[in-house]
A and B are shown apart, each in its own frame.
Chain A
Amino acid sequence: MELLAFLIFAFLAVASALVVVAHKNPVYSTMALVVTLFSVAVLFVLLGSPFIGVLQVLIYTGAIVVLFLFVIMLLNIGREESQLAGHKPQFFASILGAIVFGGLVIFTLLNVATTPAPGGPSTELVSLEGLANTLFKEYLLPFEIIGLLLLVAVIGATVAARRTQPGESTTGVAEPPKEEAQP
């Protein structure tokens, strides 16, 4: 049963990841990314982390992918313009590099971690209580720092995407005022 679910969703994840990478239209790529994220969330649940699976669906497909779609539609990006024209060696080199890299990783993993999963995941691993204890006791300081990072990212994104008015005094982050603005 677990094997069947693993095979189905692993195939879905790899196929939709290939669509993400290969499709010309960014909107279709984003939609394929949703399928990849859902499949990986199912694999998280299979591995005994249902909370992380729910977070994956909520944060990734609920927030990040919507942000991507919003920006794609805001900027009205169509198909890619310059598409590897005259960059064939780069393309083949990247394919070759990825094959070598993936082969090395798979070879290492097959040699190191061949221990089969014993039984199912334990109830201790699945329980939300244990996760909360680890997160809010051992990892409390990183948790707070992550909150600070998100705050800084929100402020930075607002500043970076802000449209500077012509007469407005810039704060040093944005572009300096143009010379020809003052007659």
Chain B
Amino acid sequence: MNVPVSWYLVLAAVLFAIGTVGALTRRNGISIFLSIEVMLNGANLTLIAYARQFESHVGQVIVFFVMAVAAAEAALGLALFIAVFRQRHTIDLNRINLLRY
């Protein structure tokens, strides 16, 4: 039996919502990054599901670009965390509050 495309879309929405909760509630910088990766995967799953529905390659191409941007984001963000850790000796976001308020 074929699975309707909308089931994949619902699964993608659930993944995105889980990632949102993680990015909003966690206080560890690395954990927030991991949650953002889950959100990106939800978005990618939506794009691939619509590529399947419309029989188009454009969705796959966009997912390719999103993966490249995610790789760049992970490299830069982790480098920033290393730089911050050298200065403050923590990446707990409650304690990195120089720009808060």
Contacts and interface: CB of A to CB of B under 8 A. Distances in A.
Interface of A: 1-3, 6, 10, 13-14, 17-18, 20-22, 26, 29-30, 33, 36-37, 40, 43-44, 46-49, 51-52, 55-56, 59-60, 63-64, 67-68, 71-72, 74-75, 77, 80-84, 90-91, 94-95, 97-99, 101-102, 105-106, 109-110, 113-122, 124-125, 130-131, 133-135, 138-139, 142-143, 146, 149-150, 152-154, 156-158, 160-161, 163
B41 A71 contact: no
A156 B79 CA distance: 9
B22 to A, nearest CB: 3
Interface in B65-83: 65, 67-76, 78-83
Given A156-B79, A157-B75, A161-B79, A135 B10 contact: no
Contacts, number: 250
Contacts of B25: 21, 84, 90-91, 94-95
B91 to A, nearest CB: 7
Q: Main SS of the interface on chain A?
A: helix
B30 A146 contact: no
Interface string B77-98: 0111111011000111011000
Q: Which 9 A-B pairs have the closest CB atoms?
A: A102-B17, A21-B22, A153-B72, A94-B24, A157-B79, A161-B79, A134-B57, A105-B13, A160-B79
Contact of A17 (B18, B49, B80): B18
